[in-house]
Amino acid sequence: MPEGHSIHRLARQFSDVFVGERLTVSSPQGRFVEGAALLDGRALESARAHGKQLFLGFEGGLSLHVHLGLYGAWDFGGDSTFRGASSIGAPRRVGEQEIADGGMSDGGTDDGGEAAYAGPPPPVGAVRVRLASEHGWADLRGATVCAVATDPEVEAVLARLGPDPLATAQPSQEPGEEFARRLARRRTPICRLLMDQSVIAGIGNVYRAELLFRARLDPATPGSSLGRERALALWADAVVALGQGLRDGRIVTTDPSFWSFPAGELPLLRDAHYVYRRHGEPCRVCTRTVLLADEAGRKLYWCPGCQAL
C-alpha cells in the first residue's frame, strides 16, 4: 500500500493535469456505475490528500473519495501534451518507484506526433473508475474506498484523522504539538500508535518500522512515556522522511552513506531500508539480527540492539 506520500503525489498529479477540466467519469468494471453517473460531465475543481485519503472535488459540491487500501492504484496516460503518465499506488515490488515516464503514453494511435488522440485505450483488468479529459485519462483499480461524498461527508472523514506530516497550510508547529498531545494520552505501544490514523495520518508499515529505527525507539515504548521532546522529534523526522518519499516517489529511509551505489542516484532496493523486510539480516548499524514479529496483524521489523528501551 501506498503510504501517505503516494496519496499526496496523486493529489499533485490530479491538480497538475485534471483540475479545471471537465471530465467524463465511468466505471468499466461496473461496480461504481451509479457513482460515476453522478460525477460524469462535471468539472474537477480540486484535488487534496490527507493521510491516505484522496478527495477529488467536483463542481456542485460532490467529491470522489478514494482510499487505495492494500492494493489500489491509479494509472495515468494521455496524448503527447499530457504530462505525467505514471502509475501511483500499490507497488508490485518492494521499493518500486512511482513514475513510468514523463510524457506520451499509448493512447490509441502510435504513428507519431501528428496522429489525433483517439481517447483512452480499452480498459485492462478491473477498472473501477475511469476519468477522462480531452487529453488524458486516469484509471483506478483495487481501491478499498471509492465513493461519492458531499462536503459534510468529506469533513466527517477528515475529522477522525490525526495530523498529516505532509499537510501544507498548517501553522508550522501546531501539527507536531497535536501529535505529541495525542501520544501523551495513550499507554499503547508507539509501534501501534504510529499506524493509528487518528494519531498521525499517512504512516504505513514501511514508515512505521523505519521511523522507529531512525529514532532508536523500542517499538514497545508506551506513547505516554515518550515525552514532548521525543514526540516532536519523531514528528519532525516523519515530515522529513515522508517529504523525501513525496519528492522521489519511493520510500528511501537510509542515509546515503549506506548506499552501495554512486552518489546522486537513488539506492538499490536492498539499501533503501534499515529494518523493513530485513529480518534475519544483520543491522546496518550494530550487526545484531533484525527481528520480525506479528503486531496486530501487521509485520513489525526492528533491531533489538539499536532499539532497546
Partner DNA sequence: TTTGGATGTAAAC
Partner DNA sequence: TTTACCTCCAAAC
Could you say which residues in the range 130-189 bind DNA, by CB under 7 A?
A: 141-142, 144
Among 34, 46, 8, which residue's Cα sits nearest to residue 244?
A: 8
**The C-alpha cell of 180 is what?**
505529541
Among 22, 69, 135, 233, contact with DNA (rule: CB under 7 A):
69
Task: Give yes or no for a contact between 188 and 150, defined as CB atoms under 8 angstroms apart.
Answer: no
Binding window for DNA (CB under 7 A); candidates: 14-22, 90-98, 260-268, 281-289: 90-98
Helices (H) and strands (E) in the chain, counts: 7, 11
Binding window for DNA (CB under 7 A); candidates: 93-101, 113-121, 164-172, 229-237: 93-101
Residue found under cell 473508475: 129
**Residue 298 bears catalytic tag:** yes
Catalytic residue among 9, 48, 52, 277: 52
92 binds DNA per the rule CB under 7 A: yes
In DSSP notation, 27-92 reads: -TTSTTHHHHHHHTTPBEEEEEEETTEEEEEETTTEEEEEE-TTT-EEEEEESTT----EEEES-S
Residue found under cell 514532548: 228
Name the 3-class secondary structure at 231: helix
How many CB atoms neighbour CB 65 within 10 A?
A: 19
What is the dihedral sign for C-alpha 113, 119, 123, 128? positive
Binding-site string for DNA from residue 211 to residue 250, where x marks contact by CB under 7 A and - marks none: ----------------------------------------
Q: How far apart are CA 19 and CA 15, in angstroms?
A: 5
**Residue 230 bears catalytic tag:** no
Q: How far apart are CA 247 and CA 62, in angstroms?
A: 29
Binding window for DNA (CB under 7 A); candidates: 58-66, 109-117, 211-219, 297-305: 297-305
Closer to DNA at the Cβ: 79 or 207? 207
Q: How far apart are CA 174 and CA 176, in angstroms?
A: 5
Among 62, 191, 206, 252, contact with DNA (rule: CB under 7 A):
206
7 binds DNA per the rule CB under 7 A: no
Closer to DNA at the Cβ: 68 or 215? 68
Task: Give yes or no for a contact between 52 and 3, defined as CB atoms under 8 angstroms apart.
Answer: yes
Among 71, 117, 258, 259, contact with DNA (rule: CB under 7 A):
71
Closer to DNA at the Cβ: 44 or 129? 129
**Residue 2 bears catalytic tag:** yes
Smallest distance, Å, CB 255 to DNA?
Answer: 19
Among 116, 159, 263, 296, contact with DNA (rule: CB under 7 A):
296
Among 103, 125, 222, 304, contact with DNA (rule: CB under 7 A):
125
**Residue 52 bears catalytic tag:** yes
Residues taking part in catalysis: 2-3, 52, 298
Interface with DNA (CB under 7 A) = 1-3, 6, 29, 31, 51-52, 67, 69-71, 90-96, 124-126, 128, 141-142, 144, 195, 197, 204-206, 251, 277, 296-299
